[in-house]
Structure 1
Amino acid sequence: MRAFLLREYGGTPELDVIDEPLPGPGQVLAEVLAAGVNPVDLAIADGQLGTAHPLPRVLGNEAVVLLGDRVGYSQRTSGSFADRTLVDPAGVLDVPSALDPTAVFAAGISGQPAWIPLETTAALRPGETVLVLGATGAAGQVAVQAARLLGAGRVVAAAGHRPTLTALLDRGADEVVVLGGPDDAAALLEATRGGADVVYDPLWGAPFSAALRATRPGGRTVTVGRSAGEHVAAIPVFDFLGRTMLSYRNGGASPDVVARAFGRMLRHVAAGELVVDTSVFPLSAAADAWAHQKSVPHGKVVLGTA
């Protein structure tokens, strides 16, 4: 079978032909209908994560798969960038067979760290004002729409890419802010009309610090990553006092919470109410998909089956 294979950490994976993997206990071999490409895949290839795994290895952590006549989604695959992959049937979530497999990933690894932090971690209440940082990424796009679908009264989308931000005005955002101006905190404060009740933060660093200054007393922030590339955010104590800082990471929620969130998001996807800009590449062009992911795309990258 074809597979996108990593032969050394720090190197670039290549498409190759290998033997099908042999199922272990609790595993079955499934046909891959589509596979999601994620920043974590880049981190693994660069040797930042998972280096205990022997090489060569097939990359990929999530897939829409076919098990007999059952279509399902799994984010516990080990090597989904291939024609076939191993999955635990007990961990596969059902997907309507009529749904385009490439659309399912809005509810997957990119969607869950948007929906679950807002619905469960920050416990978004109807009518609240939500500020979404990093709104042009796949998770950020879901967060903007999730905030609206969960009942937010006002949604502000903030990021650095104006064209994608502008498109979000048709997907739930009331106003957009292009970050990187002379005073981001002031711009965010104005856009939120006096401050956000909830801040969704996949960026950390300077953008988070600015957003914290544009948060109402009693507000909550929920951080899910550090896509801004900074390990440290400067937080003056008086910007923090009276506010609650929360965090979420994929893999930290219970399977029941994940399954419920996936089901809710998938219903919105099927209804056309949850849309993520998606770039689809055939498996034969996996190298192009990889390069596109490395370019920091404003949306989701998916590998198809052709």
Structure 2
Amino acid sequence: MKAAIVQGAGKAPVYGDFEDPAPVSGENRITVTAAAISQNVKSRASGRHYASTDRFPFVVGIDGVGRLDDGRRVYFVLPRAPFGSMAERTVAPIVHCLQMPDELDDATAAAIANPGMSSWAALSERARFKPGEAVLINGATGTAGRLAVQIARYRGARKVIATGRNVDVLRQLEALGADVTIPLVDDAAALEASFKEQFAQGVDVIIDYLWGKSAQQLLIAAAKAGADAVPIRFVQIGSASGQEITFPGAVLRASAIELMGSGIGSISLDRLVAAIRELLQATVSGGFRIAFKPVPLEDFESAWSQDDSACRTVFTLGRRGA
């Protein structure tokens, strides 16, 4: 079968031929119709992800949409290695396959599931979000961040605050549900003042896609907002701006900040799958929007190198994501 394949450590994935998978007990065979590039997929393919394999070759992709042998349409996640989602066929545990809502097309589901799950699970499983709380999304101008704005609003946030460097995209977020937008400017004093203004008015949950300098400034500003401030649950999801930060221990001692992460390891796999199920159902009723570009799998190599965070790339196969 045709697939996107990583042949060895440090090698870019290529389009080629791979062995056809055969399901074992407890698995479904899936004829793939759509699979999207995500930061998780890229880091696993490059070997930088903590869950990257040292077994080669392997097929790229951790989730997608397809059809079972009996014709049922499903979203699936974490196929059995060395098989991945960017192939004509794959195999995945039955419990990792979710029946798709009839109203949701394959390509949209493939585009939205992974980035949408990041904030959906963070709010539900880690922050224990309640309607009426205020949510600040740090790094809201990427695809996952834009979805997080919509999801927070859909789930009943009384106020959604969005940060990011791209001023043009920040303006667009107002139409998606952001009440306040904060540009991540280089002027540290001005940025701290903007953060402290929001903390003074009350922020309950921070969803962080950036880490790095802006996360450090957020934590320090939250601590400076005062001991009487509402306790803040800071949920760390991504590290687009840096892998490490440094801040005084007093930030945690002198504040009610709860610092936690969200992802595989901090949330059980069955709960992540449940979060995706809820997200896919909500995508229909909530009308969540995501920018994506459908690309035939045979054009994998050029599309892989050109992918960016502004618009998701969804590889389509067979029925072209119908």
Taking structure 1 as the reference length, what is the TM-score of the superposition?
0.90
1:1-306 equivalences under 5 Å are 1-49=1-49, 52-67=53-68, 68-77=70-79, 78-105=83-110, 108-183=113-188, 184-190=191-197, 194-215=201-222, 217=229, 218-228=231-241, 230-240=242-252, 241-242=254-255, 243-250=257-264, 252-293=266-307, 296-305=308-317
Q: Secondary structure at the match of 1:111?
A: helix
Change over 3 Å in CA distance of 1:85–1:63 after alignment to 2: same
Q: Secondary structure at the match of 1:123?
A: coil
Change over 3 Å in CA distance of 1:248–1:97 after alignment to 2: same
- State how far apart, in whole Å, the 2-side matches of 1:236 and 1:34 are: 46
1:187-218 Cα offsets, whole Å, 9 max, x none, are 23335664522111121121101222343532
- State how far apart, in whole Å, the 2-side matches of 1:255 and 1:170 are: 33
Q: Secondary structure at the match of 1:109?
A: helix
- State how far apart, in whole Å, the 2-side matches of 1:214 and 1:131 are: 13
- State how far apart, in whole Å, the 2-side matches of 1:10 and 1:91 are: 29
Question: In structure 1, what residue type is equivalent to 2:249?
Answer: V
1:29-85 Cα offsets, whole Å, 9 max, x none, are 211010121212222232224554422211111011101221111111231111111
Change over 3 Å in CA distance of 1:300–1:86 after alignment to 2: same
Report which stretch shifted further, 86-95 or 186-195: 186-195
- State how far apart, in whole Å, the 2-side matches of 1:51 and 1:272 are: 34
Change over 3 Å in CA distance of 1:193–1:279 after alignment to 2: farther
Report which stretch shifted further, 175-184 or 68-77: 175-184
The 8 Å contact of residues 128 and 152 in structure 1, kept in 2 or not, is answered as yes
- State how far apart, in whole Å, the 1-side matches of 2:89 and 2:3 are: 8
- State how far apart, in whole Å, the 2-side matches of 1:222 and 1:116 are: 10
- Among the aligned pairs, what percent are the same residue? 28
Q: Secondary structure at the match of 2:173?
A: helix
Question: In structure 2, what residue type is equivalent to 1:139?
Answer: A
- Unpaired runs of 5+ residues, structure 1, are none
Q: Secondary structure at the match of 2:128?
A: coil
- State how far apart, in whole Å, the 1-side matches of 2:271 and 2:19 are: 36
- State how far apart, in whole Å, the 1-side matches of 2:274 and 2:18 are: 36
Q: Secondary structure at the match of 2:204?
A: strand
The 8 Å contact of residues 103 and 284 in structure 2, kept in 1 or not, is answered as no
Q: Secondary structure at the match of 1:226?
A: coil
Q: Secondary structure at the match of 2:259?
A: strand
Change over 3 Å in CA distance of 1:288–1:136 after alignment to 2: farther
- The Cα of 1:18 is off from its aligned counterpart by 3.2
Taking structure 2 as the reference length, what is the TM-score of the superposition?
0.85
The 8 Å contact of residues 96 and 273 in structure 2, kept in 1 or not, is answered as no
Change over 3 Å in CA distance of 1:258–1:44 after alignment to 2: closer
Q: How many residues align?
A: 303
- State how far apart, in whole Å, the 2-side matches of 1:238 and 1:40 are: 33
Question: In structure 2, what residue type is equivalent to 1:75?
Answer: V
- State how far apart, in whole Å, the 2-side matches of 1:9 and 1:75 are: 23
